[in-house]
Amino acid sequence: MGELLITVVSVSMPAVLSTCEYASLHKIRGVRFSVSYVGQGHGSIEGILGDIESADALVIDLMGLSSADCRMIVSAAKKCKGIRVTAGGMAPNLARIGGYDASRFRMSAADEENLHRISQCWKRAETRDMEYIYSLILGHYLGIRSVEEKEYPEVREGVYLKDPDTGEECPDVGSYLSAHSFGKKEGTVMMAYSGSSYPYDSRKVAERMFAALGGFADVIPVAMNSYSVDSADELRRIAGKPDVIVNLLPFRFLAGPMGGDSGSAVDLLREFGAPILSPFIMTGTSRGDWMRSKTGVDAMEFMLDIFLPELDGAVCTIPVGTSEPMPSSEGFPPGASEIDPLDDRISRIAGKVRGLLRLRHKSETEKKVAIIAYNYPPGEGELFGGSFIDGAGSLSSILSMLATAGYDTVPMSAGEIISRFLSDGILNGGDWLAPTGAVIRSLPRGNHPCEISARWGPEPGKIMVSDGKYLIPGIVDGNVFIGIQPARVPEKGDISGSYHDDSLLPHHQYLAFYEWLQRDFGADAIVHLGTHGTLEFLPGKEQAMSGQCYPDMLMGDLPHFYIYYSGNPSEAMIAKRRSHAAIVSYMPPPFVRSGTYGALAELESEIAELRESSKADSGRAEMLKDSIVRKAAEMRLPTDIEELEDELVNIRNSLIPNGLHVFGKGMSAEDAACCAAESLRFPHDGLPSPESLNGISDGELAEAVSEYAADGRVPSSAADVEGIAVFLEYAKKVMSAAEHPEEEEGLLTALNGGYIEAAQGGDSLKDPEVLPSGRNIVQFNPFHIPTQAAFKRGADAARDLIDQYRRDSGRWPRRVALVLWGLETSRTQGMTIGQICGYLGLRMVSQSGDFVSRFEPIPIEELGRPRIDVTVSMCGFFRDMFPNLVTGLAKIFETVGKLDEPEEQNYIKAGDRRNLEYLSVAGYSGKEAEDLAFCRLFGPERGEYGTSVTAAVKSSSWKEESELGGMFIDSLRFAYTAERRGEDIAGLLEHNYSAVDVVSQVRDSKDREIIDLDHYYEFLGGLSKAVEVSSGAKPEVYVVDDSGPRTKTEPAARSFERGLRTRLLNPKWIDGLLKTEYHGAQKINERFENTLGLAATVGCVNTGAFSDLLSRYVLDKNTRDCVKANNPWAYMSMIKRLSEAYERGYWKATDEELNALKKEFEDVEGELEDVSDR
């Protein structure tokens, strides 16, 4: 008898290694093992096909293998005449063993049972399992007498207690608890880990984690061999009521790769009430590769190990194990590796768990809480800022809540908090108020990384230092510290740093501040208040943080909670993933109709009079028309009467935020009814089309919602009472959620070390499921983007923009440039992706599958126009949140460029040729040049997020507009292709921009017009100016407004003017803000900066806009006095911005206007000097 060949082909590394171990240990005479690993990163398949075909016994495990590789192996396996064992669930019809042959439908109960047992043992892949498997194959089926058959080692299903140290299963919970002296440590931790070794062996990691947690906690080690909520009752019996859960498994809790019943699993987590931490194992990445990586994880690891666990409310998604290569010289096949623990990351998880246990078991009177607010940019007028939140009012509300709950703190009003900080100069540096002796000081410890000293000089440096001691801006109120986060870029005029700049190292005082919180103050938890701070943007990986990443380093082991705006899931994910924060969301302020006022209201009256007089008095009508046209022109409004009337209706009906939100405070019934009614204008699952409500005015709908919520009454005038009742019942729930946020409950739960349930973040009008606030928000599923509805809206917007451009210019645009944000993509569910595909002439044919396969080219004859070339400028948030889309878009550009079409019909193909010519001159060739020629996606360098444009505008440090365009190019010049992720290709971005005709960006929500957010001038403006710098001509600039039920495309100038009239000039908006002490003028000042930024970049601000601002805020005594009283420092900044607009030539002010501005500057300067002298 010749040599027997046992061929093993598996995706399971543990099974491969255990097989090698068995073969090496036993060395059975006349038997040769051929073992191949075909999992992640495997080598050539062709080289193993011969051993597959000629095997006397073939064991194959192909679960998860690519379809192409799978087909090759299966084809070879069919030629194998020996025993065939399918161990992993794939290709079961190949199985042939003893009297069982699936391909011939020959059944044998005994042999089928043996196959099942082999498959079960294969998944666990321990030594005892391989002993059984190969004793069965070699001894029983191949008849090798020297091989003794082993008894079947029972494999447990479901969940069960299993000691990671000994590998012993513990069926009796009570005996296990007694043996481990439960109840004598700091708390109970349930550690869930894999009970099998398939497809990787996590036992070493589980052992180390078990030991680290066991040093201070009672640990219940729960092994899981299957994912199912059917195991929930057994899990309850085993775990009891754990204090904290550490889950070492990928996917959603108890759901697994097939999804499962995730809702029931969340119900179980809610029942446990324990926070869940989800560290993970990097099964395809070595320690060295991970440490060198700025990305942290690949797209699949991101999905399985970060995004999916977050849907359960999990935090601390950091790696605790890596895959390390095994030496081939010791008999292991190519690609073989084993999982090694990351001890420092395991220690970090253990530290976080210990911190949560302290929160659960310390009394409120003992707990110390640090609440961190912001002073950005530094100065007297910018304390406690944040998106849509009354920072000082929220601090006051939180102090009252904590005092009521038993914390050692004395409540203070918002005014008292502001006064305390200002009077003592507790700031990050100001122009008027110096720090007093009341400011906390801290001695240097001499322990900062060398790179900090290399950047900022020897410790303690010069920033926020007095007499060799660090200034710690904040106050201690009992056991609560209220502090100001250190500034990132404190030097005035420094444009190299940015709020979102991941490359800028923190200075010494920044590190000292967080050290003081932990070592001197002794905080038990840190709470960051408002959207958003800068900690999460410090240098480090994009996600999967190491101990050398500064957000991880500075937070240490402290539990971290972040009070974050519910409407901004993109930046919230950065805080969650990079600084290990559990989010406690806060809701937006109420929205009200803008209405019309002043000259706008007069225009409306005159148009109404014109309509009436046109019927009777043509002379009067003509006079009125002339008056209307003249006034409209003076006000920069359309002069066509019909168009003007439409614009006035748009202004009057625009929703505007009414003031700022105070944490924990719900909307009034009237405001909640208005918001609930507005949400009905958008489509929602389970409701009829919102078009059926078109005959009901906004006011009538809000009144109907209010009445129905109060007593269940449906308007008797409704044509379809039953139909409208469905809408009103939905609106009643929305209204209740708006009236009753769960923000205080969420924060108290967090500070008690409890479980904060996850909820979708986004636009609360479009998606009311965002409410109630107070939950741990998550992003929209990246693998569901774009949805069919979002794709259609985007494609329609692309068609609208193309048509507008052609009407205005008489030709098709050859190339458009657009902005791609993570926030917009999450909130619109991929509308801009649809827009890109619309330009490229693609239709969506599937919602699932590989990203590229979801789309197909529309034939040119059907499309009726050329395919438009596209250049995309993305922010870093998009890159981090949607890694699958980054790769997918790159492949789509390549696919469209390779279509067999002439260049005059396919502008992408023409652009590829143009790029290739440029790259050839630059020295690129071959596949590298081809890959880069397809590149249309550009963004920040890996690990960075925004541009330096905002820092330049805020600091007024730029001289020429071209500098701003250059900064945008410099920040976003990094190429993202099918082969590259953020590679600096000199000049390629400018080359792409030089051919752009049109620039656009999506406005996705009612909460902000383009005047409301600095990122609009940063991106839409920066892109516009970059194109102008690159091409030598100003592009057409459009805003795609997707904030309402219908998407519309409009010139940026019109979008700006609407924002100016509905917000910055609107008495209703101004009065709403000024109800909030100090912060009202602060928010108005932000819009002054944004106006100047838009003027400098987009060029969409008419000189008359600045005259309007002077009239409203300086010449109008009532407004002037109210704004100045609210926050004189912010008011002074507004005056300076108007002066800057004049000096830079954006405002052609009259002598009278300049004299008024100069006088006001001198008056305010004198008043502020008086304040500083007190």
Question: pLDDT (tens digit, 9 = 90+) per residue, 609-633?
Answer: 888 887 666 678 888 899 999 999 9
Residue-level pLDDT at 329: 64
Span 457-488, pLDDT tens digits: 999 999 999 999 999 999 999 999 999 999 98
Query: Which is more confidently placed, 798 or 376?
Result: 798
| Mean pLDDT on 69-78 | 92
Span 400-441, pLDDT tens digits: 999 999 999 999 999 999 999 999 999 998 777 778 888 899
Classify the C-alpha dihedral 636-642-643-648 as positive or negative. Answer: positive
**What's the rounded Cα separation, in Å, for the pair 512 and 33?**
60
Please determine, for residue 445, whether its predicted confidence score (pLDDT) is greater than 90. Answer: no
- 385-to-355, 432, 632, 647, 1013 alpha-carbon distances in Å: 28, 19, 37, 33, 13
Architecture of the domain spanning 4-141: 3-Layer(aba) Sandwich (3.40)
Please determine, for residue 505, whether its predicted confidence score (pLDDT) is greater than 80. Answer: yes
pLDDT-wise least confident of 47-51, 98-102, 935-939? 98-102
Domains 4-141 and 159-356 share a fold: yes
**What's the rounded Cα separation, in Å, for the pair 668 and 788?**
36
CATH number at 159-356: 3.40.50
Please determine, for residue 497, whether its predicted confidence score (pLDDT) is greater than 60. Answer: no
Residue-level pLDDT at 492: 46
Please determine, for residue 456, whether its predicted confidence score (pLDDT) is greater than 50. Answer: yes
CA-based max dimension of the chain: 117
Please determine, for residue 39, whether its predicted confidence score (pLDDT) is greater than 90. Answer: no
Assign 721 a pLDDT band (cuts: 50, 70, 90): low
| Mean pLDDT on 161-176 | 87
Residue-level pLDDT at 1079: 97
In the chain, where are the structural domains located? 4-141, 159-356, 366-588, 596-653, 667-740, 810-828+865-1052, 1066-1174
Short-list 422, 530, 538, 540, CA closest to 475: 422
Mean pLDDT score of the chain = 93
Residue-level pLDDT at 494: 46
Assign 103 a pLDDT band (cuts: 50, 70, 90): confident
Please determine, for residue 496, whether its predicted confidence score (pLDDT) is greater than 50. Answer: no
Please determine, for residue 1, whether its predicted confidence score (pLDDT) is greater than 60. Answer: no
**What's the rounded Cα separation, in Å, for the pair 79 and 76?**
5
Short-list 811, 803, 746, CA closest to 776: 746
Query: Which is more confidently placed, 688 or 275?
Result: 275
Residue-level pLDDT at 158: 86
Span 186-245, pLDDT tens digits: 999 999 999 888 778 899 999 999 999 999 999 999 999 877 778 889 999 999 999 999
**What's the rounded Cα separation, in Å, for the pair 61 and 570?**
39
Q: H helices of 740-787, where?
A: 743-751
Please determine, for residue 1174, whether its predicted confidence score (pLDDT) is greater than 80. Answer: no
Span 534-589, pLDDT tens digits: 999 999 999 999 999 999 999 999 999 999 999 999 999 999 999 999 999 999 99
**What's the rounded Cα separation, in Å, for the pair 62 and 200?**
14
Span 755-772, pLDDT tens digits: 999 999 999 999 999 999
Please determine, for residue 719, whether its predicted confidence score (pLDDT) is greater than 70. Answer: no
Span 247-285, pLDDT tens digits: 999 999 988 777 778 888 999 999 999 999 999 999 989
CA dihedral 490, 494, 499, 502 (to 10 degrees): -110
Q: In which order are the strands placed within the sheet that holds 560-565?
A: 474-477, 480-484, 369-373, 525-529, 560-565, 581-586
How many helices (H) does the chain have, and how many strands (E)?
Answer: 46, 37
Residue-level pLDDT at 603: 95
Please determine, for residue 599, whether its predicted confidence score (pLDDT) is greater than 90. Answer: yes
- Fill in the amino acid letter for 96: R
Contact between 220 and 242 under an 8 Å Cβ cutoff? The reply is yes
Assign 140 a pLDDT band (cuts: 50, 70, 90): very high
Residue-level pLDDT at 521: 97
Span 797-822, pLDDT tens digits: 999 999 999 999 999 999 999 999 99
Assign 718 a pLDDT band (cuts: 50, 70, 90): low
Give the pTM. Answer: 0.93
Query: Which is more confidently placed, 127 or 356?
Result: 356
- Beta bridge mates, 442: 470
